[in-house]
């Protein structure tokens, strides 16, 4: 992870507005090295004590940065994406009693994700390449209750970390000539509220 001074933490609101944010954790309080098991314990403490979704993101994002810079081996735990389907996912942690998803994702250039939300909070740290996030917001009408409209975009560089609220709507596209490699962390998904959107036909489907 290129942890250079210009690396930035972002939070994207439900309205698709990306906001730069400042760390709310005292990183000096953590014992070195900061390992995955310590991260999971700190993460669980936050989830049990902080109900507000945005406040959770502000507290968890600096922990992700600390984990990736201290436990450097995690940055190597991705699988090279094949040409078809053009992306790869490698799970780093799974526990059915602690429904947190931690995975490494790699995307080849010229692949664009569907427009979607996640039905849970999420944090993505860019480790390699560049990634463009296009943001959307709901803009329903009587004729098209699932209508969405584009709001803006954010290009992530190595070292950047971005957090999403459960109903943040976005699409993802690698930029440049290198794969975009990310560390992805998600909370417990409410699949009844997770959708893929079609901005042309104004539809939203569960996925």
151-179 pLDDT, tens digit each: 999 999 999 999 999 999 999 999 999 99
Q: Tell me, what's the pLDDT at 31?
A: 57
Average pLDDT over residues 198-204: 94
Average pLDDT over residues 47-62: 95
Tell which residue, 175, 77, 75, has the closest CA to residue 129: 175
Domains of the chain (ranges; CATH) run 9-192 (2.60.120.10)
Q: How many residues does the chain have?
A: 207
Q: Which residues contact 41 (CB under 8 A, 6 or more apart)?
A: none
pTM: 0.91
CA 78, CA 45: separation in Å to the nearest integer?
A: 27
Residue 70 has pLDDT above 50, yes or no: yes
Residue 94 has pLDDT above 70, yes or no: yes
CA-based torsion, 195, 175, 121, 79: positive or negative: positive
Residue 25 has pLDDT above 80, yes or no: no
Q: Where are the beta strands (DSSP E) in 112-179?
A: 115-116, 122-128, 130-138, 148-156, 161-164, 169-175
């Amino acid at each position: 992870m290129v942890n250079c001074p210009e690396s930035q933490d972002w939070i994207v609101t439900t309205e698709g507005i990306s906001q730069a944010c400042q760390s709310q954790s005292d990183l000096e309080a953590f014992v070195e090295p900061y390992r995955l098991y310590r991260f999971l314990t700190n993460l669980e403490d936050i989830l049990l004590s902080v109900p507000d979704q945005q406040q959770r993101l502000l507290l968890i994002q600096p922990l992700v940065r600390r984990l990736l810079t201290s436990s450097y081996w995690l940055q190597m735990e991705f699988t090279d994406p094949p040409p078809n389907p053009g992306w790869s996912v490698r799970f780093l942690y799974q526990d059915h009693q602690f429904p947190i998803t931690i995975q490494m994702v790699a995307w080849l250039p010229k692949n664009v994700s569907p427009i979607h939300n996640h039905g849970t909070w999420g944090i993505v740290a860019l480790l390699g390449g560049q990634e463009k996030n296009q943001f959307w917001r709901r803009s329903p009408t009587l004729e098209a209750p699932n209508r969405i409209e584009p709001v803006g975009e954010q290009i992530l560089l190595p070292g950047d970390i971005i957090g999403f609220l459960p109903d943040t709507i976005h699409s993802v596209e690698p930029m440049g000539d290198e794969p975009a490699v990310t560390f992805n962390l998600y909370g417990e998904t409410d699949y009844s509220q997770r959708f893929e959107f079609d901005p042309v036909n104004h539809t939203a489907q569960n996925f």
